[in-house]
Structure 1
Amino acid sequence: MKLAMLGSGFIADFYTGALHGQRNRDRVHVVQSRSEDNLKSFCQRWNVPKWTTSMQEAIEDPEVEAVVIALPNHLHLEATLLAAKAGKPVLCTKPLGRNADEARQMLEAVEEAGIFHGYLEDLVYTPKTLKAVEAVQKGALGRILWARSRETHPGPHSDWFWTKSISGGGAILDLACHCIEIGRHYIGKDIKPVEVMCWADTLVKPIDAEDHAIGLVRYETGAVAQFEVSWAFRGGMDLRDEVCGTEGTIWNNHFLRTGFEMFTSGGKDGYVAEKAESNAGWLFPVGDEVNDLGYNHMFTDILTALENGTAPLETFYDGYVVNAIMDAALKSAQTKTWEPVDLAVWRGQELGGVQQHFTDYDADHYLVKEEVMPGGQTKIILKEKATGRMVQRVVNPQD
């Protein structure tokens, strides 16, 4: 498949490395960027035959079969509209839009044009996440109660990230989009997000947007997904997820503690891993960064779906839902209260509000807890349904 890569920066490098390296038969045929210097070096590095500074020219190239958007946030809508007009399949980096309104316009454009669309949310495609989500979907953890996702690092690479009018926001738009979608996968993407409580502040960087945030997203099943993001975390990039259910727990550490640790008194190669702050002392390299961050699995899934005429794991609709949740988070950070998630388009279950789930012990009691005590007895804590009174029963081993 011949692709147009819109953008020649950091994320375009990761994308092209995955495209040229994993499936191998896919090639970036033309790259577009505002900077001619970037274009020339990018083409040399990846052996790309064509380049242009015109977004429209790259998209309308007659040999291009699909468009990959790896541009600053404020250009996502424009690029999508051009791809839709040209009738070209389009893949867009995260976040889909600067807000839910932009994301909804992008979703409507691709659906009205009837073109294939994929949302490039790489962190739901990491090998660990894919395996963890599979375990959750098979019921290994029971009913999911709580998910937590953390992404923190010293801040993004390019100037546009730090300009709110271009990026649309700060650490929430840049990082919480990952965390929110990971939480949706654990809780269930068909489960409706109801409301968000968020703290966000600008603690370190002289910018107009937030550089730190913590948020809670409440879903109709009663489950809560927590996100933690920072643009001023020191020591590299910290990617961690947790998910807890009625029957189990999963912990995932994707980057800083992967089992690969190295000490050097002074490294010769300046690059260790994404967002690493030093190449001396104790270092935590990543074995295969493109693979471990999910890019290989992401493009394999999305381009295979495009070939087969099926839907990929992540579409523009998912990007729209994430944008709507982030809108509520940013509003909550201002109002200091729970804010509803405004979803003009919802295609999942309708449970009618947040549900409560208790386990029946028998017709008259709920089960609170059951455990084996040091003496071998089994202690059972129950709640009477009629009165609300707590009672306990102790069963001896010989009984």
Structure 2
Amino acid sequence: MSHKIAMLGTGLIGRFYTMSLLKYRGKEQVVVAYSRRAEQAEKFAAEFGIPRWTTDMAEAIRDPEVDTVVIGLPNYLHKQAALLAAEAGKAVLCTKPLATNADEALEMLEAVEKAGVFHGYLEDLVYTPKTLKALESARKGALGKVLWARSRETHGGPHSDWFWTKEQSGGGAIVDMGCHCIEIARNFIGKENRPIEVTCWADTQVHPIDAEDHAVGLVRYDNGAIGQFEVSWTFRGGMDLRDEIAGTEGTVWLNHWLRTGFEMFTAVGQGGYVAEKAEGDTGWLFPVGDEIGSLGYVEMFLDMFNAMDEGRQPMETFYDGYVVNAIIDACYKSAQTKKWEPVELKVWRGGEGRDLGAALKDYDEEHYLIKEERMPNGNLKVILKNKKTGAITQIIRE
């Protein structure tokens, strides 16, 4: 089935989305583009062969040919666009973060569910080819129980003024990039596991803004796992996207951007764009062969529209966006109080009371296995815990 799309937003994200939509399935058509600036809307429509453009958001959404609305707008406009789409009975796909806070996100979720329209949360970084492959392995048990998921996104700062304006964005680096990191961790830890509490440090280290430009946080889940995020607008040298996932039986390291196998040195420059958030075009450069593919946009839209056609939910829905916003709200509170703060979820659709404690392995009837290690002399050292007494001992096998 082909779909006719209203693209709301003609900035960087709208460009990436449109590029993805026009090449990935060959079925979809963007039939109207919306921008707050007429000149930008007209130019964007001409570049991508979009038949109509407008500076009226409601007009774009209510266009009789449109069946799907894609929101690629500044954070403070997400709710307005989503409510209009729900009212018009249109499927709606919204960029990250879903909203500026959890209350707004919940209002959006309730609106689309009440209207019965398809809804998807466009969290591209959980759809990168590397991430999808790692998630498949994790879900097949390759890592055992996931204990710790660390996700890092850092660069020199976003590309538009509204990102830097707290009243329009909802915050700084946490709401901009922490949303990615939090959802990556949720996917590896398991969405059925409830986020319980967070602790977060955030500060404004470099830029003259009201929001934070650097933050580190921990999210504790009810199965004992920890999600860790590191986000910064103060990092020099491009964009650093990395994930590390550690489980009882294995580990995954993912590097999505700075070290992708394409490195080039030029003394004279290449005369233009290198990659998202690249700081220059001379010296050592790290171009990206397929930018929209590497960042997950292609697989993300494939899942969204296949789910729409198959009558199923996509991997990421507005509910996921709501949970992420609730975690972010707790992070901002923790950054102020300097304490662990609870994650307030008015709606929870996962499991309850799943704290599994330590992952215990039997060695024999009397002992748990703590660790086995082959020593430099070739001996095998086995460290054990007595099930009854709790005493820790070791045995050495030659």
| 2:48 counterpart residue number | 46
| 2:385 counterpart residue number | 383
- Partner secondary structure for residue 207 of structure 2: coil
Q: Does 1:238 align with 2:240?
A: yes
1:219, 1:354 within 8 Å by CA — same for their partners in 2? no
- Provide the rounded CA distance (Å) in 2 between the counterparts of 1:222 and 1:346: 18
- Partner secondary structure for residue 22 of structure 1: coil
| 2:100 counterpart residue number | 98
- Provide the rounded CA distance (Å) in 2 between the counterparts of 1:371 and 1:253: 29
Runs of 4+ off more than 3 Å: 352-356
Matches within 5 A, 1:130-169: 130-169=132-171
- Greater Cα offset, 378-387 or 68-77: 378-387
Q: Does 1:87 align with 2:66?
A: no
Tell me which of 283, 286, 296 is aligned to 1:284: 286
- Partner secondary structure for residue 126 of structure 2: helix
- Partner secondary structure for residue 376 of structure 1: coil
Residues 254-273 of structure 1, C-alpha deviations (whole Å, 9 max, x = no match)? 00000100011122431000
- Partner secondary structure for residue 131 of structure 1: helix
Tell me which of 381, 392, 395 is aligned to 1:393: 395
Q: Does 1:61 align with 2:67?
A: no
The AA in structure 1 aligned to 2:119 is H
From the superposition, tell whether residues 268 and 369 of structure 1 become closer, same or farther in structure 2 (CA, over 3 Å): closer
Alpha-carbon distance, 1:230 to partner: 0.4
| 1:305 counterpart residue number | 307
RMSD: 1.1
- Partner secondary structure for residue 188 of structure 2: helix
Residues 39-86 of structure 1, C-alpha deviations (whole Å, 9 max, x = no match)? 011011111110111111111100001000011111111111111111
- Provide the rounded CA distance (Å) in 1 between the counterparts of 2:378 and 2:11: 63
- Provide the rounded CA distance (Å) in 1 between the counterparts of 2:79 and 2:123: 17
1:370, 1:380 within 8 Å by CA — same for their partners in 2? yes
Matches within 5 A, 1:1-399: 1-353=3-355, 355-396=357-398
- Provide the rounded CA distance (Å) in 1 between the counterparts of 2:352 and 2:7: 38
Alpha-carbon distance, 1:363 to partner: 3.5
The AA in structure 1 aligned to 2:178 is A
- Partner secondary structure for residue 132 of structure 1: helix
2:223, 2:354 within 8 Å by CA — same for their partners in 1? no
Alpha-carbon distance, 1:360 to partner: 2.6
The runs of 5 or more residues in structure 1 that have no matched partner are: none
Alpha-carbon distance, 1:365 to partner: 2.2
- Provide the rounded CA distance (Å) in 2 between the counterparts of 1:354 and 1:142: 13
Alpha-carbon distance, 1:8 to partner: 1.1
- Partner secondary structure for residue 363 of structure 2: strand
Alpha-carbon distance, 1:25 to partner: 1.8
- Partner secondary structure for residue 273 of structure 2: coil
- Partner secondary structure for residue 197 of structure 1: strand
The AA in structure 1 aligned to 2:50 is V
The AA in structure 2 aligned to 1:86 is A
Q: What is the count of residue pairs matched by the alignment?
A: 396
2:154, 2:235 within 8 Å by CA — same for their partners in 1? yes
- Provide the rounded CA distance (Å) in 1 between the counterparts of 2:279 and 2:204: 21
- Partner secondary structure for residue 318 of structure 1: helix
- Provide the rounded CA distance (Å) in 1 between the counterparts of 2:167 and 2:91: 28
- Provide the rounded CA distance (Å) in 2 between the counterparts of 1:353 and 1:145: 12
The AA in structure 2 aligned to 1:375 is N
1:177, 1:323 within 8 Å by CA — same for their partners in 2? yes
Alpha-carbon distance, 1:309 to partner: 1.1
Alpha-carbon distance, 1:353 to partner: 4.7
- Provide the rounded CA distance (Å) in 2 between the counterparts of 1:204 and 1:254: 26
- Provide the rounded CA distance (Å) in 2 between the counterparts of 1:154 and 1:29: 35
The AA in structure 1 aligned to 2:118 is F
- Partner secondary structure for residue 361 of structure 1: coil
Alpha-carbon distance, 1:159 to partner: 0.5
Alpha-carbon distance, 1:223 to partner: 1.0
The AA in structure 2 aligned to 1:89 is A
